[in-house]
Amino acid sequence: MSDIKKVIKDKKTDLNPIWIMRQAGRYLPEFRKIREKHTNFIRLCLNSDLSAEITLQPLKRFDLDAAIIFSDILILPYGLNQKVEFVKNVGPILGDLNFNQMSKFTANFFTERINPVYKAIELVQNNKLTENKSTIGFVGAPWTLLVYMLNKKSPKQGLKKNFFEDKVLITEMLKIIEKFLKIHIKNQINSGAEIIQIFDSWAGLLNNKDLDKYVYNPTFSLVEFTKTLDVPVICFPRGIKDYKKYCDIIQPDVICIDYEIDPVQIAKNIKIPVQGGMNPKILLTDKENLKKEAKRYLDIFKDHPYIFNLGHGVLPETNPTMMEYLVKMVKDY
């Protein structure tokens, strides 16, 4: 059993497993080399051999405890035939939404369209590098996917004005997203994913009164479903204010926290295993500062089941030697 699984299942507090969100990707020169040749991001995610190779790149360099499959949460709308492209310095741009077409798609159609993702998971799971480590699959949360699919771009500048106008469409879209997320989760588990992480990157956009409908209910349904497949679930509701309430309602196996939340309060109020927290920008400073900040999180959670991670993905300008230093430091703690 991997150290991460021991922390999740046995609530071990004497282990310090570490993996990093976006550990496979943009800060590694070997990834950039591949990316220069393969400019279409979605097509790269759907190249099983390259996706598996990219997933394993950080494990060749660092003593990490998990491989997280190189893919994207927007593989779901792509699987439902919505156009998805990534524009340099802009981010994802999605095409028009054809609800009538989506509502008729079968599980087979969807699975066929993104089958290379599952093949990549198999390749990673069967690689020697992942022995005694966890292979992590992931999905976007229903709310975050709804945001991208209706907004058709990142909501960094806010949601479009009429976003909530068509209530019927929103309700029906959430049902479709949830249905295919369950298929996507099951397919990943069948291919060898031993843990599923649910990314709710835009949970912080909502008012408290809307959380039940858009975050709590649909995410709870996914967590329950994944647990029936006997696989633990990590939830990352970025920007949410009340992590305790979120945990009480959704009951994930692990809660991943962002860097805007006070870890001391989390350690005090939350009983389940915790993951993450440190600001990725700390990796852009110096080793002294990095050591101090990483140690702060390790000290706060030293008597709590804890998986070291960041409070968001590793930044593209991160120097791999800083990452190496961090992994070693956490392991030696």
Q: Which residues pair with 276 in a beta bridge?
A: 257
> Confidence band (pLDDT; 50, 70, 90) for 158?
confident
In tens, the pLDDT along 163-188 reads 999 999 999 999 999 999 999 999 99
Residue 298's contacts (CB-CB under 8 Å, 6 or more residues apart) are 16, 306, 308, 330, 333
Q: Percent of the chain at pLDDT above 70?
A: 100
Q: How far apart are CA 228 and CA 60, in angstroms?
A: 33
Give me the domain span that covers residue 109: 3-332
- pLDDT value, residue 57: 98
Instruction: Annotate 86-106 with b (16+ C-beta within 10 A) or e (fewer).
Output: beeeeebebeebeeeebeebe
- pLDDT value, residue 157: 83
Number of folded domains that form the chain: 1
In tens, the pLDDT along 108-126 reads 999 999 999 999 999 999 9
Average pLDDT of the segment spanning 16-37:
97
Strands 306-307 and 254-257: unpaired
- pLDDT value, residue 210: 96
CATH number of the domain where residue 133 is located? 3.20.20.210
- Residue 301 has which token pair? 């959670």
> Is the Cβ–Cβ distance between 301 and 267 less than 8 Å?
yes
